[in-house]
């Protein structure tokens, strides 16, 4: 029997919502840092610049004071890692918005709220 992957299911539901939003879809991409890889492939990726802690998605549209947005999905009881917190902290220093979400609905709400930041600034 295959192990359930609740985070993947939430991410798939999120991308289904995104598929109906062309003005969001064109700015959003996934960052596949996780998963299992052959050790040689993992070493090659690291040598090419893989960075630990990078969130699951980048939304490369500016809004308000922010240059872009990153979204990290988690399912309980998982927690943000030290590397992920470090990424969030560095991003905040340079006005990049990062958020942690627990399901696809929260991800949708975060994007909608993020886009409203730009509306409030003219």
Can you say whether the dihedral through the CA atoms of 22, 26, 31, 35 is positive or negative?
Answer: positive
Q: For residues 109 and 114, what is the distance between their CA atoms, to the nearest angstrom?
A: 8
Q: Is residue 52 part of a domain?
A: yes
Please give the pLDDT value at position 41: 79
* pLDDT at res. 42: 74
Check which CATH number belongs to the domain holding 18 and give it.
3.40.1350.10
Residue 19's alpha-carbon distances to 16, 55, 64, 72, 80, in angstroms, are 5, 20, 24, 19, 27
pLDDT at 121: 59
Residue-number span of the structural domain to which 40 is assigned = 6-119
pLDDT in tens, 8-45: 999 999 999 999 999 999 999 999 776 667 778 777 77
Evaluate whether residue 1 is within a structural domain: no
pTM over 0.75: yes
């Amino acid at each position: 029997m295959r192990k359930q992957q609740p985070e993947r299911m939430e991410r798939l539901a999120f991308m289904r919502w995104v598929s109906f939003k062309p003005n969001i879809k064109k700015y959003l991409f996934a960052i596949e840092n996780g998963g299992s890889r052959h050790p040689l492939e993992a070493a090659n990726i690291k040598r090419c610049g893989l960075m630990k802690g990078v969130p699951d998605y980048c939304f490369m549209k500016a809004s308000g004071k922010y240059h872009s947005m990153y979204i990290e999905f988690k399912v309980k009881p998982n927690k943000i890692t030290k590397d992920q917190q470090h990424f969030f902290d560095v991003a905040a220093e340079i006005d990049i918005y990062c958020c942690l979400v627990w399901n696809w609905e929260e991800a949708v709400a975060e994007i909608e709220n993020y886009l409203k930041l730009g509306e409030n600034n003219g």
